[in-house]
Amino acid sequence: MNNLLLLAYPAALAIFTCFHARLTRGGRVSDAFLSLEQTHMIQAFACIGVILHHVTQQITAYGIYDKGPVSLFNDIGILFTALFFFFSGYGLITSLQEKPGYLDSFLYRRLPTVLIPFWIINALGVLLETFGGGIHTTPADALRDIFGLTLVNSNGWFFVEITIFYLFFYVIFRLVRNRNAALLLLCLAVLGIMIFSFHQGHDPQGDQAHWFRGEWWYNSTITFVFGLLYARFRQPLTRLLNRLWLLFLPVSFLLTALFLQRSIVCVRRGGYYEDMPSLYESAMSAAPAAGGSGFSVSHFFDTLRRSIFSPSGLFTSLAGRTLLWQSAACIAFILLILLLSMRITLGNRALRFISTISRELFLIHGYFAFWIFGSVRMNDFLRYAVVLSTSIACTALLSWPIRRLVRAVVKLLSGAHASVSAAFQAASRAKQEETGAAAHAKRMRKMRILLITGAAVLVAALVLIPVFRSQKAAAEFKAECEAFQTASVGDVVLFGRYETDPSRVGPERMSWTVIRKDADRLCLLSAFGIVPGAYHKKHEAVSWEDCDLRARLNSDEFLDMFSRHEKAIIIPADSAQDLLTLLSTEELEDIFPTKQDRVLVSTQSAIRQGVNADRLSHYDVWFDQQYCYSWWWLKQEEGQSSVTAPIVDMDGSVLADQKPVNKPAGAIRPVVWIRIPPRP
């Protein structure tokens, strides 16, 4: 019954959208069809839908828990995002066709409306991390977060991608005079971004703090192209849709439902978690033989064919089919919305108000959904109300100063060209008028002093920093050795350095649990999950001896956590001479006989990078504690080959064959053997 009450929110969204709407009769197209006001109100509807989508993901743990019919909102966020992409593409071409000189003022009129809200709300996120979460970053990291080079706000990916598309639009239509040719090139560029992003694979970091990673970069992007084409051919397409409106309406509804259902099935079966092809591997496999020319037309098309039609390509892999079904669902949904808006004219004050703040609301609601209230225990019904109300209230307070700032920046930039030109000319004249050997000599003396001082500082840094680091490493190693000599099984010791805490600068001391002790050696197991990763990149049967994770553990990525002193006492873990390895199932059950002993807490850096930590576990799932548990990889028995690998689940259970080897979010918990140095 409680789950059925959650349907009140989708129902309220429908009522909120259609309240005071007018119906156009007689088979006529509404006079307001695709007007600026109408498109903004449709985007307001989509923005509220995105918020419901994100809250639903929270209460269902991304679909793990069934919350009744409202659980569908887990899978339809792409449809709401598709509306933003469609109207962005539609608006570009419509404005180009209807506004003289649109390209002349495009950069300083269009980009600030996207980037300034993005930057301001990113800055609020940095402040929230610092003062609310206690996460202190360096000034350089803070600037990267604010300007979007890394995404402190997980919803900011859309603003990055749409800005890239805007720049593509500007450059292409500036350089290509034929508008039809320019439109074709723009569509191809967008499709290229989609294919490139697809080949980067599923989001490996989880926090979306990167570009061109994760399915959000391509699963609804096709509707941007749809918007471009609809605007270019608006009149014939509108006449066609209006003439066959009674046929297209039910067909578009059924196609949306069918394509969405198929895409959900693909996601449930692995979808974007399945083996994601690498564009670079495809290119390398198609590279010409040594001694060839290095490039040819046939080589290019062969590379393209391999990246799209190979067994793990766009049209053949499960991930590729997921993308195609989701893209088809988005296009069918946009068609359904277009058909409805031909007959229905939206119009109420509340919807108009949300339409004026939807851009900021799209960005800011994630702070309330995930950061502020994400860890607060509350009723599901109340969670929707709290996130919606606080997000809208905060956005309403911020939107007015943001809009004023946008207008001020646009006004400033509109006259910037003339001002800069005048300033440049004045500076040139001043420089020409400046004479006198004395002034020139004085400047040169200052320049020499600065150069000598800078060179001295650089040399000192190059000499002293390595000396300081070497002394510090030697002191740490001495303290570590003293701890090793008295350590017992079950003790926690420090050994090496690794990035475990994003709130601190530089790598932290690594904590290890002593799991075995012989006469002169110790076996250490990382006390925490330190980084996420797949057991193997491809979805194929593989043994521990041949898997990618084994090679990764013994690469510089992990071995560089140890100083030269520490590396000297590491001894091979097995006959294969591996320095780092994982526990096997048999070893695990011998060392940790109970489930409670096996549960793993991952470091904050690992969680931020995408370890699949149960963010709900600390208040309503399994354990009532203030941290999250992660599942972690074990190694297969020698000689065993399988498409799955053993893991320890979040509750400590050992699962032998549940996780596909290419699951990217398992925690990595290394094992290392060391020789105990003798007492001095």
Convert the pLDDT of each residue in 352-375 to its tens digit.
999 999 999 999 998 998 888 877
Please report whether residue 49 resides in a domain: yes
| Co-location of 504 and 590 in the same domain | yes
510 lies in some domain: yes
Asked whether the predicted pLDDT for residue 381 surpasses 70, the reply is yes
Residue 281 confidence class, pLDDT cut points 50, 70, 90? very low
Backbone angles phi, psi at 514, to 5 degrees: -75, 115
Judge if 82 and 224 occupy the same domain: yes
Per-residue confidence (pLDDT) for residue 427, from 0 to 100? 57
- Domain contains 449: no
Mean pLDDT check: name the lowest of 588-602, 613-627, 655-669. 613-627
Instruction: Convert the pLDDT of each residue in 191-214 to its tens digit.
Output: 988 888 887 766 644 444 567 777
464 within domain boundaries: no
Tell me whether residue 2 is exposed, middle or buried, using C-beta atoms within 10 angstroms of its C-beta: 0 to 12, 13 to 18, 19 or more: exposed
Closest CA to 669 of 602, 614, 615, 617: 602
**Confidence at 470, pLDDT banded by 50, 70, 90:** low
Same domain (yes/no): 479, 399: no
Final residue of a structural domain among 396, 418, 440: 418
**Helices and strands, counts by H and E, the chain:** 24, 17
Between 624 and 459, where is the model more confident?
A: 459
Q: Greater confidence, 107 or 467?
A: 107
**Which of 418, 440, 458 marks a domain boundary?**
418
Statement to judge: residues 511 and 413 lie in one domain: no
Q: Are residues 375 and 474 in the same domain?
A: no
Q: What's the pLDDT tens digit per position in 626-675?
A: 456 889 999 998 888 999 999 999 888 899 888 899 888 889 999 999 99
Instruction: Look at residue 289 and tell me if it is in a domain.
Output: no
Q: Is residue 283 part of a domain?
A: no
Confidence of residue 291 (pLDDT cuts 50, 70, 90): very low
Tokens for 280, please give them. 């670079």
Number of domains in the chain: 2
Q: Is the pLDDT of residue 503 over 90?
A: no
Q: Are 476 and 593 in the same domain?
A: yes
User: What's the one-letter identity of residue 250?
Assistant: P
Return the closest-CA partner of residue 64 out of 612, 679, 654.
Answer: 612
Within a domain: 442: no
DSSP code, position 29: P
Q: Is residue 65 left, alpha or beta, with left meaning phi > 0 and alpha meaning psi from -120 to 50?
A: beta
Residue 385 lies in a domain: yes
Q: What three-state secondary structure class fits 38? A: helix
pLDDT at position 303 over 60? no
Residues 181 and 41 in one domain: yes
Query: Do both 101 and 221 map to the same domain?
Result: yes
Tell whether 263 and 139 lie within a shared domain: yes
The set of residues, in sequence order, having a beta carbon less than 8 Å from that of 651 and lying 6+ positions away, is 595, 599, 622, 629
Residue 398 shares a structural domain with residue 481 = no
The boundaries of the domain holding residue 550 are: 469-675
User: Does residue 261 sit in the same domain as residue 390?
Assistant: yes
Q: How confident is the model at residue 279 (pLDDT cuts 50, 70, 90)?
A: very low
Q: Which H, E and C letters describe 462-528, residue by residue?
A: HHHHHHHHHHHHHHHHHHHHHHHHHCCCCCEEEEEEECCCCCCCCCEEEEEEEEEECCCEEEEEECC
DSSP 308-369: HHSTTSTTTSHHHHHHHHHHHHHHHHHHHHHHHHHHEE---HHHHHHHHHHHHHHHHHHIII
- Asked if 404 and 476 sit in the same domain, the reply is no
**pLDDT band per the 50, 70, 90 thresholds, residue 296:** very low
| Among the ranges given (125-129, 300-304, 542-546, 575-579), the one the predictor scored with the smallest mean pLDDT | 300-304
Residues above pLDDT 70, as percent of the chain: 80
- Please give the distance of CA 106 from its chain centroid, rounded to a whole number: 28
When pLDDT is averaged across residues 426-446 and rounded to a whole number, the result is 60
| Single residue among 357, 383, 418 that ends a domain in this structure | 418
